[in-house]
A = this chain, B = another copy of it.
Amino acid sequence: MKAHISILFLFFVFTCFAQNHKHTSNGELLYPNIPGYTTLKTDLHQHTVFSDGKVWPTIRVHEALRDGLDVISLTEHLEYQPHATDIPHPDRNRSFELAIAEAKDHDLLIVHGSEITRRAPMGHSNALFIKDANPLLHPKDSVKPFVEAKKQGAFVFWNHPNWSAQSPTGNPNYSQFHKDRVANNELHGIEVINSGYYDKESLELALKENLVIMGTSDIHGLIDWDYTEKGNSRPITLVFAKEKSEKGLKEALFNGRTVAVFNSLFVGKEEFLKPLIKASITIENVHYEGKTQILALTLKNNSSSDLQFLNKMNYSFYGESPLFTVPAKGELVLKVKTLEILKKLDLKLEAIEAFIAPDKNPIIDWEIKVE
């Protein structure tokens, strides 16, 4: 299967994205570990001057440190080299090497990755954990790069499958090419959030085909200009690893332990998203107020995302709306009308900005003892 890349990039960069998910805290991204796993904050789709990005790889390292990330990958387009006049025939590993050098005194993992870049229907895919990017370069053949990536043990995911420049309906086109790659174990994941764009049809596809759910910034310019100064945090993938290491990350990705996050939007499989939201809320200072039958609970949010919940108990709230938000890195006192004095309460809340399937939110339970 062959692809011509000449007119491939006419609409290349998503020119803007919706700016309404602004409910995020300033500064460092923060998400708790979940039982059995360390939560790694990753942005595994980024560009520099070594493909069509606008900055040297060192800037990407410092942006990641400012955001408190654990892992990044600089996934340069193998085939699209608009700066080739100035950076001719580069070793496709070069961006990785420069980032590794810059990060050497910091607690930041740099994963070796590359973007395999084709026109529709093949589209763009990122291969991570590669050993040498150069053998993946086969501009005239769309299959060989995947074969080579597999040979190198890569984890591969499909980028912005719904990109309107390649799919005018805005829906992912799951072609025979993709089916073959999945069947051959050459494609493992799919972006459901890319540069601020969430796509619920891509989530549907991820669940149906058991593809790993990914969220990435796909940054070309500056994180500050594209995200921070608009009140947004960059999209990331939370990866639930047995250890903080490249090995741990890889094992976790291949086993699909991810949640994609953009500001207050969470997308992931129920088995990871539920414990993540549960761990994000700590409940303290449980007591009945005065001589009332009103139970007060302090909900502390251990994450950098606002968490919005809908009450799913039979008990209603005193004062609070059934739809309420625990602010990022902040707290909220919730008062529950229990109508009698209870010894324990099963707090049940629907996390309405968390999606475990298209239009489906998880309900989280916290068992609370009243002292």
Contact = CB atoms under 8 A, between A and B. Distances in A.
A317 B169 CA distance: 11
Interface string A173-202: 000000000000000000000001111110
Contact of A318 (B50, B162, B265, B339): B162
A318 B168 CA distance: 11
A30 to B, nearest CB: 19
A90 interface: yes
A294 interface: yes
Interface string A331-364: 0111101010000000000001101001100000
Given A87-B87, A170-B294, A332 B18 contact: yes
Interface string A27-62: 000000000000000000000011001111011001
For A53, A169, A319, the residue with the greatest tally of chain B CB atoms inside 10 Å of its CB is: A319
B294 A20 contact: no
A194 to B, nearest CB: 9
Interface string A1-34: 0000000000100001111111100000000000
A87 B98 CA distance: 13
In the complex, the count of this chain's copies comes to 4
Contact of A319 (B18, B87, B327, B335): B18
Interface of A is mostly: loop
B290 A164 contact: yes
Contacts of A199: 318-319
A255 interface: no
A305 B335 CA distance: 24
A353 B225 CA distance: 31
B20 A327 contact: yes
B11 A324 contact: no
The 5 closest A-B pairs by CB, nearest first: A197-B319, A170-B318, A168-B292, A170-B337, A54-B56
